[in-house]
Structure 1
């Protein structure tokens, strides 16, 4: 029994390695430019960083395919280079010999792109998933449309201007009327009746 389990474990890891190769049907190439992104603060890509990448991708796959329990072991990485590039494939949790379709992996990567960038302190230009263009950030939405705010301010200014013009003209008429009455009173007071 123990021999059969050992054989299955060896066979599954051998099958997984055959799935992960350059230009695999459901494989992706990743390029990281850690040195150009972080300069003197650049970290070394090692097995711990590989584990972090696999666990972040497993999280993204769990988010995308709710109900499937992806683990780091479901992310197979291969053909790593010193300049930090590698290929990876994602296998199904219940069957390590079949890979997850490209569309699902792409959706998961797009959905969790900001998380990948923040985990590795990189940007869309320095963490590249070859063949998957970076998604544009969602446009900013406001509770009130900006043009409506500008319109309300302009209408308020116009209303205040009209009100001021009306008040000034009323006051001017009242001053003219009072000056006319004053003028008429002086003319009447200067005449004597015979």
Structure 2
């Protein structure tokens, strides 16, 4: 009885494993390809990639998914790997713990990887350039969303130029008006001088004074 039960259990597990493994294949929309350059990164201290290292990778991915969704239902079995090559590259997908026949959307996987990228890199002593998730931009090369929209920058430049032009015109007008008013005041002063009987500086003396010599001559002549 127990033998039949074990046989049925093994058959059931095999039957379940086949569809799950079929979810992972190169180019699957919700999957990602990973490429590791261990020798390039570590040189003589490079370690050998084996089943234990693959287990660690799946465990770190399960950790990233737990952290992203803030749940503890993801396990190593949730990370399905396929198309592994000796040059250390492979594809992986993440299955839904509530339904192993359903894959976690690729966008959610990408966000989880990006959120825990440093932890994943540290586990393998690698960097974004030697542990590559193809299709997921490196942490340091993430798309940058500008704080100010480009059209606002252009608008600000145009407004600045227009404002500077208006200010230049106002200042120029003010200066010309001041010069004109100053010229009018000088002309009025000269007119007042001539109207009061004062002459300009000349041989007769300074403006506003009389020559005493001419005054004495005039007195003697009258006598």
How far off its partner does 1:137 sit? 8.4
Structural mapping, 1:1-194, within 5 Å: 2=5, 5-136=9-140
> Which blocks of at least 5 consecutive residues in structure 2 are unaligned?
143-223
Counterparts of 1:45 and 1:76 in 2: how far apart (Å)?
17
Q: Measure the CA separation in 2 of the matches of 1:110 and 1:84.
A: 21
Q: Cα gap change, 1:125/1:137 in structure 2, threshold over 3 Å: closer, same or farther? A: closer
- 1:68–1:104 distance in 2 versus 1, CA, 3 Å: farther
Q: Deviations over 1:133-178 (max 9, x none)?
A: 012389xxxxxxxxxxxxxxxxxxxxxxxxxxxxxxxxxxxxxxxx
Shift of 1:4: 5.0
**Cα distance between partner residues in 2 of 1:102 and 1:95:** 16
Aligned length: 138
Query: How far does residue 96 in structure 1 lie from its aligned partner after superposition?
Result: 1.3
Higher gyration radius (CA): 2
Q: Is the 8 A contact 1:110 1:135 kept in 2?
A: yes
* 3-state SS of paired residue (1:44): coil
Relative to structure 1, is the Cα distance of residues 86 and 12 closer, same or farther in structure 2, using a 3 angstrom cutoff?
Answer: same
Compute the RMSD of aligned alpha carbons: 1.8
Structure 1, 6-15 or 92-101: larger mean CA deviation:
6-15
TM superposition outliers: structure 1 runs of 4+ over 4 Å: none
CA distance change for structure 1 residues 105 and 113 in 2, over 3 Å: closer, same or farther? same
Q: CA deviation at 1:33?
A: 0.2
What TM-score do you get using the length of structure 2 for normalisation? 0.59
Match of 2:184 in 1: none
Write the distance in 1 (CA, Å) between the matches of 2:59 and 2:72.
14
Distance 1:13 1:109 in 2: 25
CA shift at 1:68, angstroms?
Answer: 4.7
